[in-house]
Amino acid sequence: HCVHSLQHILLEKIEQETWRETGISFVTSVTRLVERLLDYRDCMKGDEMENKKIGGSVNLMNFYKSEVNKEDMYIRYIHKLCDLHLHAEDYTEAAFTLLLYWELLQWEDRPLRDFLHYPCQSEWQRKENLSRKILHYFNKGKCWEYGISLCRELAFQYETLYDYQSLSWIRKMEAAYYDNIIEQQRIEPEFFRMGFYGRKFPFFLRNKEFVCRGYDYERLEDFQQRMLGEFPQAIAMQHPNQPDDTILQSDAQYLQIYAVTPVSDISDVPQLERVPERIKSFYRINNVSRFHYDRPFHKGPKDRENEFRSLWIERTTLILSRPLPGISRWAEVERREVMEVSPLENAIYVVENKTQELRTLISQYQHRQHHGNINPLSMCLNGVIDAAVNGGIARYQEAFFDKDYISSHPEDTERITHLKDLMQEQVHILGVGLAVHEKLVHPEMRPLHKKLVDQFHMMRTGLHHVSSPTCGLVFHISIKEKKADTANTFFLIKQCFLLLKNIFTIYFVLQPSPSSSSLSSIRSNSSQIINSAPSSARGK
């Protein structure tokens, strides 16, 4: 309040001056700097949490770069922020922070004065030393993919100088990074959207929303407790709706938290089928600046026989100011987009994502040779199979493979076929997962495994009975609608091919084995999880 009062007084004083525009710009800039300095002072108190200190430092650092162009102060706060990350053991964020200084330097022999903890040295030497430190932090943060590009940059410099000793060293480091990517297991983090509402929050948080990259094994409940511990005066909001002005202008703190899903740029994810799942999964959750969350609702009257027919999704996509991971575990939401997803499109999304989750999890256990903790795999298999037998896929079949639905929604023919292909792919992946589970399951957990196998065969049988007439039905309707249009001959041929392929899949691939407890036929192919999915399910 004092800062804004001072700003108001100063602006009144210069109202009639000839240099009014310049004066207004200066007063506004000073006001914004003072606000950030006061926030920084409050956040850096000894008893404050690391997240507040990091947030205050990022806010001030960005101000010196973008608003007043003070490079020396900008570099100082880069290193202050890096030290905070190292203290919190956020090594990936420390590496990205130092990259900001690295990007300011050139591969030149220009001499540089001593600065902070750097001695007098050439610009080339400082950039090289900084590169090695950044590589060390990326390695500790297990973000080897980001380190590889830096390895190549250094290798180019060493090769240009014929420094073969250093070139050999950096090539070996790059090779070690590839080995780590292939061999070491990495935990996929969860992401959380946070809204800070009310005038009692620090300036850099007030009435803003962020997405945070969670710690390993951190779930929504754990994250909520951690945030409420950092902001003990905050009131937790129990709904995802946007707050009104009463909350925004209140002299209080309201904290709104819920989980969000990363939306990767499909061009960033390797598309070759032979690429191991653990490599693909990295690109799905890193360098991501778009996240979404869903709110289900019924458009029109709720279908009493099967609610999935009327269950729409309001999907909100959050676009961040910078991708995660980055210079902080938090990134501010820059804008949001809202769209509605139809019941059939949502069914496709749910089945596709659950299958992807299965692929990722199975790939983590596929090449293990010893018994260990396989609870995550057991829980995931049990959740998918149990839901498929008692609801889930079966409910989707009832909702969208129904004769009345197909005849009243001819525009959904291709989507229905796509959903059916995805269901068949999920059955295939479940079979591979059960084969891996059978190899690793503890003897005392054999009864659970047998139950999963029995339910799996029930699931395949259910898919057979519901899908079989549907194939013919979709084909029949397509013929009826297209018979008068000779230009669509190719469409009919394609439908014939899909019909024959689906009949083959249902009667030969999905037939249960003679023994409900045996998965030997699946187990023999379990090592080919990425390559052996049905071609139709892979979009071919």
Strand ranges for 227-328 from DSSP E: 235-236, 254-262, 288-298, 311-324
What is the phi-psi region of residue 319: left when phi exceeds 0, alpha when psi lies from -120 to 50, beta otherwise?
Answer: beta
For residue range 499-539, what is the model confidence (pLDDT) as tens digits?
A: 444 444 434 333 443 333 334 434 444 444 334 444 333 44
298 lies in which domain range? 191-341
Residue 478 lies in a domain: yes
Give the end of a domain, one of 341, 358, 379. Answer: 341
Q: Give the separation between CA 529 and CA 538, rounded to whole angstroms.
A: 12
* Cβ-based neighbours of 156, under 8 Å, separated by 6 or more: none
3-state secondary structure of 150: helix
Residue 366 lies in a domain: yes
In terms of domains, do 18 and 101 share one? yes
Residue 143 lies in a domain: yes
Residue 97 lies in a domain: yes
Given the structure tokens 């101000």, which residue do they identify?
63
Residues 417 and 478: beta-carbon distance below 8 Å: no
pLDDT of residue 510: 38
What tokens appear for 143 in the block? 């973000």
Given the structure tokens 């379990």, which residue do they identify?
526
Q: Give the separation between CA 49 and CA 43, rounded to whole angstroms.
A: 8
Pairing relationship of beta strands 191-197 and 288-298 according to DSSP bridges: unpaired
Q: At 81, give phi and psi (nearest 5°).
A: -65, -40
Range with lowest mean pLDDT among 75-84, 279-288, 363-372: 363-372
In terms of domains, do 145 and 258 share one? no
CATH number of residue 366's parent domain:
1.20.58.740
Pairing relationship of beta strands 311-324 and 330-341 according to DSSP bridges: antiparallel
Rounded to two decimals, what is the model's pTM? Answer: 0.75
In terms of domains, do 98 and 35 share one? yes
For residue range 432-478, what is the model confidence (pLDDT) as tens digits?
A: 999 989 888 888 888 889 988 988 888 887 765 554 444 433 333 33
Q: Give the separation between CA 424 and CA 273, rounded to whole angstroms.
A: 18
Residues 382 and 448: beta-carbon distance below 8 Å: yes
In terms of domains, do 321 and 196 share one? yes
Question: CA-based diameter of the chain, in Å?
Answer: 94
Residue 155 lies in a domain: yes
In terms of domains, do 231 and 251 share one? yes
What is the phi-psi region of residue 198: left when phi exceeds 0, alpha when psi lies from -120 to 50, beta otherwise?
Answer: left
In terms of domains, do 356 and 314 share one? no
Highest-pLDDT range among 45-54, 243-252, 366-375, 504-513:
243-252
Mean pLDDT of 330-336: 95
pLDDT of residue 8: 64
Give the end of a domain, one of 123, 145, 163. Answer: 163
Residues 351 and 396: beta-carbon distance below 8 Å: yes
In terms of domains, do 337 and 381 share one? no
Q: How far is CA 454 from CA 361, 440, 506, in A?
A: 21, 18, 18
Mean pLDDT of 162-168: 97
In terms of domains, do 204 and 283 share one? yes
Three-state secondary structure along 453-516? HHHHHHHHHHHHHHHHHHHHHHHHHHHHHHCCCHHHHHHHHHHHHHHHHHHHHHHHHCCCCCCC
CA atoms within 13 A on the CB side of 95: 23
Residues 324 and 288: beta-carbon distance below 8 Å: yes
143 or 389, higher pLDDT: 143
CB atoms within 10 A of CB 104: 13
For residue 336, the cross-strand partners are 318
pLDDT of residue 152: 97
CB atoms within 10 A of CB 90: 24
In terms of domains, do 242 and 118 share one? no
Give the end of a domain, one of 341, 362, 390. Answer: 341
Residue 65 lies in a domain: yes
Three-state secondary structure along 51-75? HHHHHHHHHHHHHHHHCCCCHHHHH
In terms of domains, do 147 and 281 share one? no
What tokens appear for 316 in the block? 């909100």
In terms of domains, do 365 and 498 share one? yes
In terms of domains, do 330 and 372 share one? no
Calculate the dihedral angle through the C-alpha atoms of 9, 12, 13, 15, rounding to the nearest 10 degrees: 160
- Domains identified in the chain, total number: 3
3-state secondary structure of 90: coil
Range with lowest mean pLDDT among 30-34, 230-234, 288-292, 517-521: 517-521
3-state secondary structure of 312: strand
Calculate the dihedral angle through the C-alpha atoms of 67, 72, 77, 79, rounding to the nearest 10 degrees: 150
